[in-house]
Amino acid sequence: MMDIDALKNQLFEKAHKKGFEDCELYYSENSHSSVSVYKGKPEKYQNSQSGGFCFRGLYNGRMGYYFSETTDIDIDSVIDNAMANADITDTDNKEFISEGSKSYSSVKIYNASLDALSMEQKLETALEAERAALEYDKRIRPERAAVSTGKTSVYIANTRGLELSEKRNYASVSVSVMAEENENTKSKYELFVGNDIEKLDPARLGITAAKKAVAALGGTPVKSGSMKVILSNEVFADILGCFLPVFYAEEVHKGFSILKDKMGEKIASDILTIRDDPLIEGGFASCSFDSEGTAAYSKNVIENGVLRTLLYNLKSAAKDNVRSTGNGFKAGFKSAVMTSATNFFVEKGNKTLDEVIKETGEGLFITDVAGLHSGADRISGDFSLAAEGFRIENGDVTTPVDQITIGGNFYDMLKNITAIADDLKFYASIGSPSVAVKNITVGGL
């Protein structure tokens, strides 16, 4: 799309003339194609190509940024704008441009066979998933089934000699359905994300969505109180994803995470181990280097309840006098370098979900939460979320529960984990098995 080499040379040359020291060009390209179906017919086709570049450079020791989705742009204005942005940035907020790591692990994140998937095959997959969902139960109505595939590539080059590139592809298949009975409607969806679409059984995906919707019909609230709950793998992954930034050193430095000075301390139940692993084959957030060119590697963040490391980029690592953990990522090519986890997951336990349910005896099995973007306070750790699920009575999952809230504090919850099942599942980049927790406040009747 763009002649990157020419762009790089022009940018770096002009930047040096205008007084920039180290500079970087970050370039990214994406393409995407999808089809969605409704009632047995194709409804929407989408196709896209997009991308752009971001220039950043050190000017008087301060980092200035400028991005553009087009190369049809005056290079002088790129440099001048980056300079204006550098000028107002505080000097003690030091970002680095680095020569990168000595070596990089390779990880398989590109599946060539995915490129060969035709629009007709995608359409057939979506139709099959929808059909299976509708055939599962008469109470099911369709909402949407979609298949999409995409490719993205990144390229980083800087004046310290770093030059790296990587490309990945992925597929996602989703089925959304509604179950309806006596004025009661439940809509549920099931999602597959990964680049090993060969492993996907579209019919099973559709049936799972339909099963979830039908099972949730007729839910009723329970009495308010404090109780034992099992958070399903999806729910625990949702909550963990929401509080993830508390493990970023950057957030600790700014005072937005209370994990300050907790290194090496026990902050969670003995049975909890949480890992950040960018080297999982085909993983949603797998990569061999971060946006600063630091080699990606796997590490335990919490090990048997003890906080082992925070996640670092170059800036926060320099502040703590440690090495970057390879977690310096941009949120898209336009963004400044921030911190991000890669594939972040709770290690599975050695009991089956059924065993954990049996042990729980009485309580709730929570299968859905809503309102994480508003009902969870990342800084205090407090959360109160709309929830759905099932009663657990005499060690068995029984009737559906709806119109309740679950409340607690993230940090307390980590300590109150009593069991971890073996059903680890990834939801995009966050993974978790189902987790049993005591002392969760349930709001209902």
Partner 1 sequence: MISKKTAEAVLLCAVGRGAEFAELFVENNAKNSVSLVNGKVESANSGIDRGCGIRIINKERTVYVYTNNMSEDNLLKLASEGAEAIHGNTRLKNIVFSALEYDKLYTPAVMPDSVKKSDIVDMLKTGSNAAYGYNKLITQTRMGYTDSCQNVIIANTEGLWAEDERVRTRIAVSAVASNGSEKQTGYFGPGALKGIEFYDNINIEAIAGEAARSAVTMLGASNCPSGKMSVIMDNGFGGVIFHEACGHGLEAAAISKNASVFAGKIGQKIACERLTAIDDGTIPGSWGSINIDDEGVKSRKNILIENGILKGYMTDRYNGRLIGMKPTGSSRRESYKYMPVSRMTNTYIAAGTDKKEDIIADTEYGIYAKYMGGGSVDPASGDFNFAVNEAYMVRNGKICEPVRGATLIGKGSEVLLNIDRISDNLALAEGMCGASSGSVPVCVGQPMIRVQNITVGGRE
Please work out the total of residues on this chain that contact partner 1, with binding judged by CB under 8 A: 78
Tell me if 49 contacts partner 1 by CB under 8 A: yes
51 binds partner 1, rule: CB under 8 A: yes
141 contacts partner 1 (rule: CB under 8 A): yes
Please, which residue, 37 or 107, has the CB nearer to partner 1? 37
Please tell me whether residue 385 binds partner 1 under the rule CB under 8 A.
Answer: yes
**How far apart are CB 300 and partner 1 at their closest, in Å?**
27
Q: Scanning the structure block, which residue is given the tokens 């505080």?
A: 90
Instruction: Return the residues of window 319-338 that contact partner 1 according to CB under 8 A.
Output: 334-336
* Single residue of 9, 45, 201, 323 touching partner 1 by CB under 8 A: 45
The answer to the question of residue 366 lying near partner 1 (CB under 8 A) is: no
Asked if 43 is part of the footprint of partner 1 (rule: CB under 8 A), the reply reads yes
Tell me if 399 sits within 8 A of 380, measured CB to CB: no
Determine, following the binding rule CB under 8 A, whether residue 410 of this chain makes contact with partner 1. no
Residues shown for the chain: 445
Task: Extract the runs of DSSP E, i.e. beta strands, from 134-272.
Answer: 140-158, 163-181, 184-194, 225-231
Alpha-carbon span 76 to 294, nearest angstrom: 30
User: What residues contact 101, with CB distance under 8 A and at least 6 apart?
Assistant: 289, 293, 294, 295, 326
Q: Which residue has the tokens 């400044």?
A: 336
Q: Is 409 in the site for partner 1 (CB under 8 A)?
A: yes
Q: Which residue among 279, 296, 404, 437 contacts partner 1 (CB under 8 A)?
A: 404
Q: Does 85 help bind partner 1 (rule: CB under 8 A)?
A: yes
Q: Please tell me whether residue 218 binds partner 1 under the rule CB under 8 A.
A: no
Specify whether the CB–CB gap between 274 and 90 falls below 8 A. no
Query: Among residues 25, 27, 28, 64, which is the contact residue for partner 1, using CB under 8 A?
Result: 64
CA 244 vs CA 162, 274, 305, 365: distances in Å? 30, 11, 16, 23
Q: Which residue number, 74 or 161, has a Cβ lying nearer to partner 1?
A: 74
Q: Is 245 in the site for partner 1 (CB under 8 A)?
A: no
Cα 146 from chain centroid? 20
Distance CA 152, CA 28 (A): 7
Instruction: Pick the closer one to partner 1 by CB: 10 or 441.
Output: 441
Interface residue with partner 1 among 96, 110, 256, 297 (CB under 8 A) is 256
- How many CB atoms are closer than 10 A to CB 116? 8
Q: How far apart are CA 155 and CA 163, in angstroms?
A: 7
Distance CA 74, CA 8 (A): 13
Binding of residue 259 to partner 1 (CB under 8 A): no
Torsion of CA 413, 416, 419, 420, to 10 degrees: 30
CA nearest 123: which of 34, 231, 12?
34
**50 binds partner 1 per the rule CB under 8 A:** yes
Closest contact distance (angstroms) between CB of 389 and partner 1 is 13
Is the CB of 295 or the CB of 366 nearer to partner 1?
A: 366
Per-residue x/- marks for partner 1, 142-171, CB under 8 A? -x----------------------------
Q: Does residue 1 bind partner 1 (CB under 8 A)?
A: yes
Q: Which stretch binds partner 1 (CB under 8 A): 66-74, 204-212, 283-291, 415-423?
A: 66-74
**Shortest reach from residue 382's CB to partner 1, in Å:** 5
74 binds partner 1 (CB under 8 A): no
Q: Is residue 406 a contact point for partner 1 (CB under 8 A)?
A: yes
Closest separation in Å from C-beta 393 to partner 1: 21
> Are the C-beta atoms of 13 and 76 separated by less than 8 Å?
no
Using the Cα atoms of residue 306, residue 308, residue 312 and residue 314 in order, give the sign of their dihedral.
positive
Q: Is residue 310 at the binding interface for partner 1, with CB under 8 A as the rule?
A: no
